[in-house]
Structure 1
Amino acid sequence: MDIVMNESETQRTSNIIGPSFGMNPVQITECTYESTFWPQISGFVRHALQADLQVERPLHTYSHEELYRSIYWMCWQGFHKRLFSDLTSVIKETLHLLGNQIDNIQQSDIWFPSFAKISINHARATDILGSVFAYLDKTYIQYTLHKNLRDLLISYFQEIIIEKSEMRIIYVFGMVLENSSMFDLNLVINVIKSLYKLKPDNIYLNPTLFQSSINDEKLPSNLQDLRVRHTTLETKYQLEKLKSEGWEPGFSKLKRSLSTDEDVEMQQGEKAAKRVQY
């Protein structure tokens, strides 16, 4: 997936800020926030959340120390509320973009590697963003809002990526168990570990597969409830798939249209048989 969002603007702003960005106290105004500081911060966030962008510009080309210091000065000068609002907006915007892209992929053998890349990267990005935005997190998100950035990053990921693709994830994980030779098992294990790291309750997506992949991890205490949830969802999605193919409860086979000549003849034959009986 090739995603480019304000790349040229981000690079231009990075050059303006230079290597001394955040090293000394600076006066931040509404104008400099919008023209210089926020474009640099938002560019980094988008890169952290999109693995494809990191091919062209790896995250290590950003100075995390300078980013941390700039965020410190923004918060210190009263921009914490706006920074938080802008940060959550760009996180959700980027995740929606990624979610929409994988939704448009039809083939499972192409969809899964794309989903895997997003999941593995998000687990890593959650740690990186938590470190860079630690001052904002502790002094505003936790202290004032009584939340924390890590939980928000995970919550947005669950809502926008996992829940939206839930049926497909359950289906593909089921295929892995049925025919593992179709998949790169190392990639599958990395995805499982990333999803579990983000939220242990993700084990509900396929308890058997998760247990075989994270045997060195402590399993959640509500494992049995998660098994029941998986079975319920699996049954629900199987029924939805059958209904989409024309099946309805009470029919042993898929419903057929009565518009063919064969069906018309069958109906006429049944009516004739009834007349003979009378």
Structure 2
Amino acid sequence: MDEESMEEEGGGGGEPMMDDQNHNNWGAGGYGRHLLGSAAGQLGDRFLREAATGTPAGTELSEANGMLQGCEPGGASCKGGAGAIAAAININASTSKFLMNVITIEDYKSTYWPKLDSAIDQLLTQSPGDYIPISYEQIYSCVYKCVCQQHSEQMYSDLIKKITNHLERVSKELQRSRPDTCLTPASPPDLYIERFNVALGQYMGALQSIVPLFIYMNKFYIETKLNRDLRDDLIKLFTEHVAEKHIYNLMPLLLEAQSTPFQITPSTMANIVKGLYTLRPEWVQMAPALFSKFIPNILPPAVESELQEYAAQDQKLQRELMQNGFTRGDQSRKRAGEELTYKLQTKHATE
């Protein structure tokens, strides 16, 4: 089945019909008959027969005009007049067009889902800053049409299965880079941490595109029938299929890296810690001190009796920084920038 523009389906900015029953009932049902009484039903049936058999439109229009001419002005059999008949004709013509464009389950599997599948693949594997050659409007339109034709349940099932398979492959790749793995020669801990950071960032970035593309499915199926949210479901998938399988190997390495300043870049450490907190806040209990460095209000407020301990920790950090080549400089003199500014001002004053 060929793609049609969203305008032909009901407009790009409006709300979709909840299902095809709403579409069909609105088009062929009560509205035309409300305007014209039994005449609308006859005209509607004729236009649907025309769509199915190819009867020339002029024949039906001539009969419609005859019915209009036989009406008494204001009579009960001609409720609404010429404008109402024209409205009924347009409504039933739109209905016949919609019925002829029904998306069957075979159409969904052969035409619509493959387009969605390909787009999801590209979004899940893109690197930050990459250009993705997909039509977001086309994908959005595919989702919209499938929701209107009651394929939401199948589409949701396919989406979950697709992303689950992807995350299982991601987890296996991370497993190969673990320092204690038997599958490959031991790799350095920082490589394992960095690869986890890349996998987490790539997936969270993909969700920023995937969730909006499936907004109609989320609104009219997941929220309405499942009482859940698509983004929450997809985050839960990463938690179950990736993070839970690596958290007990990852956390000791993070704690070890924390004790050695700059073994892992501060940005990588912050991304992982914040990401783990987003996935499952209770993981804070595994390393409260580590999480507290990047997430506020994790630890209880400081008390006066612990000030000495805080001072000792600060002194230890300063010693570690000095051992790694960071010097405090000559504290008896002004800062280098202030000293230069002072000399320049003195020179201009004497000239």
Q: TM-score range by the shorter chain?
A: 0.5 to 0.7
**Cα distance change of structure 1 residues 207 and 85 upon mapping to structure 2, 3 Å threshold:** same
Q: What are the residue-to-residue correspondences of 1:225-264 with 2, within 5 Å? A: none
> CA separation in 1, counterparts of 2:204 and 2:280?
10
How far residue 219 of structure 1 moved from its aligned partner, in angstroms, is: 4.7
Which segments of 5 or more consecutive residues in structure 2 lack a partner in the other structure? 10-100, 179-186, 301-351
How far residue 63 of structure 1 moved from its aligned partner, in angstroms, is: 3.1
How far residue 203 of structure 1 moved from its aligned partner, in angstroms, is: 2.9
**Cα distance change of structure 1 residues 63 and 207 upon mapping to structure 2, 3 Å threshold:** farther
Aligned residues: 200
* 8 Å Cα contact 1:99/1:160 also seen in 2: yes
**Cα distance change of structure 1 residues 17 and 204 upon mapping to structure 2, 3 Å threshold:** farther
Q: Which amino acid is the alignment partner of residue 198 of structure 2?
A: K
Whether 1:188 aligns to 2:269 is yes
Which segments of 5 or more consecutive residues in structure 1 lack a partner in the other structure? 1-15, 222-278
> CA separation in 1, counterparts of 2:284 and 2:7?
44
* 8 Å Cα contact 1:51/1:118 also seen in 2: no
**Cα distance change of structure 1 residues 163 and 135 upon mapping to structure 2, 3 Å threshold:** same
Residue identity over aligned pairs, in percent, reads 23
Whether 1:154 aligns to 2:227 is no
> CA separation in 2, counterparts of 1:197 and 1:65?
30
The alignment's C-alpha RMSD in Å is 2.8
> CA separation in 2, counterparts of 1:23 and 1:42?
24
TM-score (normalizing by structure 2): 0.51
* 8 Å Cα contact 1:123/1:197 also seen in 2: no
Match of 2:246 among 145, 158, 165: 165
TM-score (normalizing by structure 1): 0.63
Cα displacement string for residues 66-108 of structure 1 (whole angstroms, at most 9, x for unaligned residues): 3222101101111111101101100111100101111111322
How far residue 220 of structure 1 moved from its aligned partner, in angstroms, is: 9.8
Correspondence for 2:213: 132
How far residue 44 of structure 1 moved from its aligned partner, in angstroms, is: 2.1
Correspondence for 2:105: 30
> CA separation in 2, counterparts of 1:166 and 1:154?
15
Whether 1:67 aligns to 2:112 is no
Q: What are the residue-to-residue correspondences of 1:193-208 with 2, within 5 Å? A: 193-208=274-289
How far residue 148 of structure 1 moved from its aligned partner, in angstroms, is: 1.7
Instruction: Give the structure with higher Rg (CA).
Output: 2
How far residue 23 of structure 1 moved from its aligned partner, in angstroms, is: 5.6
> CA separation in 2, counterparts of 1:214 and 1:65?
38
